[in-house]
Amino acid sequence: MKIPKEYLDEIKGYSDGSGIQYEHLFFANFYFDVLKEYGFHCSTIAHHTKIKTLIGRNTDLMPLLTKFALKHGRPLIITVNNNSNKNKQEFTHVAIPLCVGVINGFNEKGISAHSHQILFVREKSNKKLLATPILMRKILEESKTIKQAENIIQKNPTCRSLNVLINSEKEKKSKIVSTNPTKMDVVSTKEKFICCTTHFQTEKMKKLHNGPIYHSELRLKSMNKLMRNKKKLTTKQMIRILKDHENGLDYGDSSKSLTNDGTYQSFVIDLTEKKIFISNANKKPVSLYGEFVEIDIKKLNKN
């Protein structure tokens, strides 16, 4: 696994500041790249109009891990300011405590990136490849356009297969970049919305699957149905969509519904206004409990 020294230094800083052993923090940051059956199994929706870009996201873990994570590591919203390096942009992400990488977030140029780890897929490489959360961070630090984000993914193959949903507030469009240690493909749309789950959608990439993807396909079908003909969408409407569990709450190998027994994070990003609306629930599935709290990132960063 390839991890640039600057990010290892950050982990060392967390270790020094918290008193937690460096080796333990290293494992916590990157074990999903090694223990592949325990990955994040997520769902994301992006919707664009001429005046607004909204992203709805549910991040799922295995239910036992979700229960543990909600008890010991509630989600944080962190803004990373790269003033010391003019080539890197400021970004905000819904973070896991003491982790330097990114799963979801957006940068100051209006680019957002959201990862979806793929299950049941062949992955072979003899090279040291980039850790997946570091790829996501590089996208936010270095991209101003969807094309730039796509190029970063192409130049940095990762240990694990991913669907990376990239959204641009300025360009008012989205793209799914599907990546594997040896292959890459892209999903685009002319619709106002795009939905992304945890299986490859293109024929080229589907050939890499070596196990069942039915649950993810069913979830994607339900998401597309929920979004069809939505010319306008408010934050409250997106939150209602994230609560959908029409296909049941059971998790199994992967969830059949947007909301399921493993839902660990549930939030909406208003990419236009730089606001996050996130569930503050402390029990699973978080999308069905607690309140969605509004956090104005522009206002916080001014302070």
Residue 148: CATH number of its domain: 3.60.60.10
- For 49, the domain range is 5-302
DSSP one-letter code for 300: H
Lowest mean pLDDT, pick from 3-7, 228-232, 244-248, 249-253: 249-253
What's the confidence (pLDDT) of residue 134? 95
pLDDT value at residue 73: 76
Check residue 34 and give its pLDDT. 72
Give residue 172's pLDDT band: very low, low, confident or very high (50, 70, 90).
Answer: very high
Q: What are 116-128's pLDDT values in tens digits? A: 999 899 988 767 8
pTM, whole model, 2 decimals? 0.94
User: How many domains is the chain built from?
Assistant: 1
Average confidence (pLDDT) over 218-227: 96
Strands (E), 49-133: 53-60, 76-80, 91-95, 104-107, 111-117
Question: SS3 string of 202-221?
Answer: CHHHHCCECCCCHHHHHHHH
Q: Give residue 40's pLDDT.
A: 67
> pLDDT-derived band of residue 69, with 50, 70 and 90 as boundaries?
confident
Instruction: Give the model's pLDDT for residue 159.
Output: 85
pLDDT, tens digit (0-9, with 9 covering 90-100), for 281-290? 999 999 999 8
Instruction: Give the pairing of strands 193-196 and 43-48.
Output: antiparallel
Cα separation, 139 vs 183, whole angstroms: 18
255, 256, 257, 235: which is closest to 55 by C-alpha?
235
pLDDT at 292 over 90: yes
Does 36 have pLDDT greater than 70? no
Q: How confident is the model at residue 191 (pLDDT cuts 50, 70, 90)?
A: very high
The mean per-residue pLDDT over the stretch 254-277 comes to 95
Q: Where does the pLDDT of residue 303 fall: very low under 50, low under 70, confident under 90, or very high at 90 and above?
A: low
How big is the CA angle at 25 (ends 123 and 77), to the nearest 5 degrees?
A: 90
Task: Compute the average pLDDT of residues 136-152.
Answer: 97
pLDDT tens track for 77-118: 999 987 777 789 999 999 888 889 999 999 999 999 999 999
Decide if pLDDT at 37 tops 70: no
Average pLDDT over residues 55-68: 92
Q: Is 144 helix (H, G, I), strand (E, B) or coil?
A: coil
Give the C-alpha separation, 2 to 281, whole Å.
35
Give the pLDDT confidence score for residue 203 in this predicted structure: 95
